[in-house]
Structure 1
Amino acid sequence: MVQRMILKLEMITKERERHMEKLWKEFQKVLNTYLRNTEEYRNEYSKLRDQDSNDTRHIQNHYVEVARLSDLIANLRLKLTTIRDEHEFNVKQLQKSKMELQERVRNVKQEMEIGLKMDEEKLKQLAVCSNGALKYLQNLLKRGNAILQIATFCKKFETENESLLPFVHSAVKRQMFEVDEDELKEPSTEFDVFKKETFGIAKKFENFWMRFNKARIDCACLQEEKQQLLEENERLKSQLKEYLITVNISNGGSLESNETLLAQRPSSMKVEKVVHIDLKLKAVRFSKNGQRRPVTCIEGNLSNAIRNDRLLEIKNKPTELYSVVQQS
């Protein structure tokens, strides 16, 4: 029984082994067929797998690059925002500066227009004032020339005691005034030239005012002397009139004819005021324009050039009365 079971088991085992071997061969056959049929696919799969690995690696690299570029874009956006804000601020400041500069330009233009108008008005006023000043200076020049001519003319009649340092060089001799040694030296610098010109003018003015004050003193003395002489003349005329009346009455004449006994002053003794002396004119009575001729030296000596010494000489002379009675 046991052997039968063992034999049966061996038979079943052998049968199953044959069946397993058959199945294994079929499996090998199917596997080989499968391998032959899927070799192409497997090669393509391998390629695709390698490509997928490469693509995965590239994708990862791209992810890293995208992250880096995203950070860069974020930084650039932040910089762009900052630069935009700065640009807007700068634009606003520039616009503000532009408005201020335009306002300043308008103000400067207005000031320039106002200044030009004021300058034109001042120029017109300056032209008018300069014309008046020019006429005034020309008048001063004429008066100065007249003063110089009168001074030159009157210098001839000054005595030695009346001579001072002259301010008219052409009318005075060299020996009448001293010359400083510093004035003879040539000025070496511009300051020396300026100092020489300035002090020269000041010295001339000082001499002029000395002569002017001397002339005013002489005029005051002459006026006082003239007043005394007029009073003396009136007194003498009164005495002469009384004397002539007494003589006429003693001779049997009438009182009405006493007024004709006093002789009038001749017209040649009348003194006219000299405004300008032209030394170039000829000594004629009247010129072509109807003006009178210049006063001669003799007439000037008899009228304006009488000085203290001659007046003193006249005072010291004995007083004598002369009477000229018109005979009928």
Structure 2
Amino acid sequence: MLHSRDSEEQNQCIRNDKELVLVQLRKLKAQRTQARAISQENLVKLTLESNATLKALKKIVDKGEKILKLAEMCRKFETEEEKVLPFYSSVLTPKDQEEIEAQSLEELSQQEELAKVIEDYMGMENFWKRYNKVKLELLSLQHRRTQLLEINEKLREMLKQYLDGISVSDEVLSQLNPLFIVNHRSNLPKPLSIAQSDVQPPTTYNIIEAAHVISNIL
């Protein structure tokens, strides 16, 4: 009896150990499956981000090549002065520049994010100088173009009035025309004093001196 009891206890211990091992094995399998799923998900995410990064970098490269081509094209249209001195000098005095820099530093100290962004673009100061110069010239040309269009419109109107004055058509005859005179009368409205009266205009006569006639005959 004692031997059978010991055997039963040993068997029970073995079964308990087996259950523990099986539970541990299930946990390890679950962890392995979960880790594999996470790795697969990370791999997919990494692939997508890598493709997106490659596309973004390609766009940047294409944009850089386009900028270089445009720079080469613009170089042909630069004046001799712009080729020699591409960056104009500031018209501010050293004192004014110091005041502006101090004011800018004070404003940037209050906005840390803006200060970081500006610090990243400090190397593009010369670029912004040329860009702003071109913008100012563009605005000046647009303003001049507007002025020329207004002048052109006025000249067209004056030319139309002149052509209407020297041409004869139904449209012109139906309008007031100071150059159109028939039987000593124009189609312009008469003054109020003459329109209200029935007085006929005086008859005009051509008078030729006798001396002038004789000189032409002889």
TM bucket (normalised to shorter chain) is 0.3 to 0.5
- TM-score normalised to structure 2 length: 0.44
- TM-score normalised to structure 1 length: 0.32
Higher relative contact order (CA 8 A, sep 6+): 1
Larger Rg: 1
